[in-house]
Structure 1
């Protein structure tokens, strides 16, 4: 069977365009999906980590307040019930999250309590007393039927609480009672709002779930899921201590792009093992990719039709130059980078076709450049242009290998701006953003090209330095002092001279030491020591 030149020519053009379109869809779809998954998934994982940390930080703060209160002289024998009652009510007034606070004797009788609720009643059979008399007790989320009936509850919904209790010792070291508190679980909604509010500006249909380690039930999340058990793959990974993201298929539901993190405590607070899952329907997360694929399909089909018709009418006049064009097209499809579509000045229509093919190749090149740009953006912080957490992980993998070969060290500087919140509150977030950009420039001025300055979020930054094996702490301290000095300099923004400080926590990784995540944790702990010690200083973690 034979075909005339016009049929072959037009058919060939149509097939070529369709194949190029299919290849383009495969390449762009694959790369864009990976890029979007990494960008959005990384954002969800980071938000999950921050929420887990906020939950643990809150519980650490409240348990610490109860411990401090229990050591006051007012709780020593003989008891001054009026003073104790005043202290308890003052605590509730200052921190309404303390729904009920009571002072119990060693037998479990309530001697004093906020608003006199449960006064003179015996609660010795409740975990808050039984566990609290042994030592510091922090109980998981639970219902309190009796207390719910006695507390104001305009909404009528079931009240849930988290328990904190500690034993009270006399000056002779004997247990003289228990200080017990019920914290309303409603505070977790405020944490949820603080996480969801910025996410809703960038994403839609995002869900936040907090899951109990005790029975795998959803403690916080959409109403349809609260109280239900979760057995998702993301939960299993979070329980293993991972902080990342996956695309998972729910039973009978759509797929989700899910970020997850595990609450493993804060400082000396061991945590209750809450797992945080933040997810978005995959159909929404990858909507931009699907839209791009549909556009490429339509564009490719339109191009196939146009070039097929053009080939039909021009085949009789462009047989010879067409052969040259076809030959060059074959070279391009085989990967020849220096090949160029030939032009023809003898036949105007052939020149047009040649130009069209040139534009097609140019558009493919531009598309590839855009893909590379999107990949680069996924590794950088949008506001400051600094590397983000994902880029930091890639850098550490190479830096560790290099340090192991050279038997040198890596110094981690974990820093946080002192007074940044005041700038945001006083001059607005736009001024705060501009300040962060100036801080990024100053941090880069303090480091060398083969080192990294990364922004982890908010006003937190990490600097990784290549230091010697002999004096890493001395070398790191010089850089940290230079950073603190530069950041202390005033910044002019919007006609205002703004001042912030910088607290630095430092730790040194050695080839024979722990992994870099442990060194990062030590530097983070050292940062909080700097903040508690007066701020605007550097502290080396002793364990490093």
Structure 2
């Protein structure tokens, strides 16, 4: 089984399956993330819109109730205590959101009351009377006190009211009483249920009404009357409307839409904030389901395409097996074996023909091998020998019996880096090619020059048996002069210099690497001495010796 999986068929099948599964995984990640982002934006906007509509509806209803109370207070019949009782009873019968409506005299005694509740009771200490006496008053949500045990309460929950009161004045403008109303806070729950009905399919959707001091006025069970320390409440007061993703006190993350009570017309609002939230997990459920579906389809397609790739690879592998078998027999040295020309895929057929031609060329021509060896020792840019050739040649020269002393020169171009920096690497390459040609033209046929890399060159000056030893200083001077000649690059004259370090074998080291190191030291000494000059290692030694004696 392991051998099969390592073969072409197994590799193609496994690779195909891996690529498809990987692509499915990446697609699910990308699509899932984009879906989450889009869902987050869409749900966030819809939640903030729902919160705004609810806040606006609450303000519009409060504005209407406030106006209603203002208008009723101006009716003469309300200031007639005998008639006022009939008015408040009719008003209570027509508006189911009114929990209680009544009229007090100027001293706070209730003179008319819906259903006769609290009739004759002194309400002078109650906020609805005290604030109503001062002027038109709209009070925030509060618990029932005097009416808690007098009004029917089928739900059993604590009763809460929103107060609207206004002073009653006679024709002279004197305050003669207060027209007071308690609107049931259940009205807000009805608004909530009506507005959220189109969104009832949203799993985990909940809404909150928060007072100006951050207390929950309306919300899920267990939150009423509790402070709600979430950032969206503060954001609503600053931004008015918007949405965010935040962690709530229950340590869960929610998409939260918020809207601050903007008021309505002449009603400035009570500073309420409406929040609509949905758990992040529920909001992202569609995106998560899409991710899972993509992965499932990816797995199914991986199995399908792996099977197809298995059979396709078998069709491709059969002629390759024939080629591999012929190659094995060639390796074993069997005579008369040739790479077969096989059919099948065009690439396989081309491979068999190419291998056949290659082996024939390698078998019949030793010159091809020699040419390949030459390439390995040649610098591709300047066509000069490279560092590998230079090092092997110098070692072989030093180890050859009867070799006469020879001289090594290390050369490094001065001012070459600015050429590269200002004119570009193509111009630098052109300079190196011309410098290499000039250096080679200054040497004899028995001498060797190589490019070591970058703008570094090396020269071996070979003594010729029977001839007078060459003057090294003259050769160095010719090399420097040749390099200093201007070079025309794309119609522009470029000039570089040349510093040379000189050392001799075996005078400056019995091992070739020592001689090369000493030539390198002399080169850098020449650069420190001002560049564009030659310096022999023996001069460095003599100078050091002179300084020691002094």
TM value normalised by structure 2: 0.55
Structure 1 partner of 2:95 = 95
Structure 1 partner of 2:238 = 240
Name structure 1 gaps, 5 residues minimum: 323-345, 351-544
Matched, 1:280 2:283: no
Q: What is the aligned counterpart of 1:317 among 315, 335, 352?
A: 315
Structure 2 partner of 1:220 = 218
User: What is the rounded CA distance, in whole Å, between the counterparts of 2:225 and 2:165 in structure 1?
Assistant: 25
Structure 1 partner of 2:207 = 208
Structure 1 partner of 2:386 = none
Conservation of the 8 A alpha-carbon contact between 2:78 and 2:87 = no
Structure 2 partner of 1:265 = 263
Show the 5 A alignment for 1:58-457: 58-76=61-79, 80-200=80-200, 202-213=201-212, 215-318=213-316
User: What is the rounded CA distance, in whole Å, between the counterparts of 2:221 and 2:87 in structure 1?
Assistant: 36
| 2:289 match: secondary structure | helix
CA deviations over 1:215-235 (Å, ceiling 9, x no partner): 322211222222222111222
CA deviations over 1:324-365 (Å, ceiling 9, x no partner): xxxxxxxxxxxxxxxxxxxxxx77xx9xxxxxxxxxxxxxxx
Cα distance change, pair 28–306 in 1 and its aligned pair in 2 (3 A): same
Q: What is the aligned counterpart of 2:53 among 33, 50, 69?
A: 50
CA deviations over 1:107-150 (Å, ceiling 9, x no partner): 22212222222222222222111211111111111112221112
User: What is the rounded CA distance, in whole Å, between the counterparts of 2:206 and 2:165 in structure 1?
Assistant: 32
Name structure 2 gaps, 5 residues minimum: 321-343, 349-550
Moved more, 266-275 or 251-260: 251-260
Cα distance change, pair 231–310 in 1 and its aligned pair in 2 (3 A): same
Conservation of the 8 A alpha-carbon contact between 2:230 and 2:249 = no
Q: What is the aligned counterpart of 1:31 among 31, 34, 56?
A: 34
User: What is the rounded CA distance, in whole Å, between the counterparts of 1:319 and 1:242 in structure 2?
Assistant: 70
Cα distance change, pair 248–117 in 1 and its aligned pair in 2 (3 A): same
User: Residue 309 of structure 1: CA displacement?
Assistant: 4.1
Cα distance change, pair 99–5 in 1 and its aligned pair in 2 (3 A): same
Moved more, 10-19 or 281-290: 10-19
| 2:243 match: secondary structure | strand
| 2:147 match: secondary structure | helix
Cα distance change, pair 85–320 in 1 and its aligned pair in 2 (3 A): farther
Cα distance change, pair 286–117 in 1 and its aligned pair in 2 (3 A): same
CA deviations over 1:373-424 (Å, ceiling 9, x no partner): xxxxxxxxxxxxxxxxxxxxxxxxxxxxxxxxxxxxxxxxxxxxxxxxxxxx
| 1:132 match: secondary structure | helix
User: Residue 319 of structure 1: CA displacement?
Assistant: 6.9
CA deviations over 1:45-104 (Å, ceiling 9, x no partner): 21111111111111111111110001112345xxx3221111111111111222211212
RMSD: 2.8
Larger Rg: 2
User: What is the rounded CA distance, in whole Å, between the counterparts of 2:150 and 2:199 in structure 1?
Assistant: 38
Conservation of the 8 A alpha-carbon contact between 2:229 and 2:249 = no
Moved more, 297-306 or 284-293: 297-306
| 1:196 match: secondary structure | helix
The alignment of Structure 1 onto Structure 2 pairs a total of residues equal to: 321
User: What is the rounded CA distance, in whole Å, between the counterparts of 2:9 and 2:251 in structure 1?
Assistant: 51
| 2:133 match: secondary structure | coil
Cα distance change, pair 251–153 in 1 and its aligned pair in 2 (3 A): closer
User: What is the rounded CA distance, in whole Å, between the counterparts of 1:21 and 1:162 in structure 2?
Assistant: 57
User: What is the rounded CA distance, in whole Å, between the counterparts of 1:219 and 1:47 in structure 2?
Assistant: 17
| 1:30 match: secondary structure | helix
Cα distance change, pair 116–3 in 1 and its aligned pair in 2 (3 A): same
User: What is the rounded CA distance, in whole Å, between the counterparts of 2:318 and 2:117 in structure 1?
Assistant: 99
User: What is the rounded CA distance, in whole Å, between the counterparts of 1:190 and 1:81 in structure 2?
Assistant: 33
User: Residue 210 of structure 1: CA displacement?
Assistant: 1.1
